[in-house]
Amino acid sequence: MLPAGTGVDAAALPLAHAPLPASDVVSGSPTAATVALGEIRGVEVGVWEMTPGTACDREADEVFVVMSGRARIAFLEPALPSIEVGPGSIVRLAEGMRTEWTVTETLRKVYVA
């Protein structure tokens, strides 16, 4: 957690990666890492990162900003057009969405969920 009155370089923040569950991996050997920076009125703010590969996820309510990297997010449920994201992209996800992330360059985002 990030103490009040302090700051951190989100782009340089060290993250401890772990392999994604095999049941989520579609291709490659992606790993992911998350660090929670704090909670504001029950809403978590943090940094998440995924290495190249393709994996599926069941989403929470979230808004995020991509800091670095590139990916394509396919929306499987509900079926929506895929989007390409990169530095500066802002995306809104809803609870229960099923997505498939194809990361081509290690993707780091700051999220509010």
CATH number at residue 81: 2.60.120.10
Question: What is the average per-residue pLDDT within 75-88?
Answer: 98
Domain that holds residue 79: 32-112
Does some domain include residue 73?
yes
Does some domain include residue 8?
no
Tell me the pLDDT tens digit for each residue of 6-43. 999 999 999 999 999 999 999 999 999 999 999 999 99
Does some domain include residue 12?
no
Domain total for the chain?
A: 1
CB 106 within 8 A of CB 51: yes
Question: Does residue 2 register a pLDDT over 90?
Answer: no
- DSSP secondary structure, 39-104, as one string: EETTEEEEEEEE-SEEEEEE--SEEEEEEEEEEEEEEEETTEEEEEE-TT-EEEE-TT-EEEEEEE
pTM of the prediction? 0.94
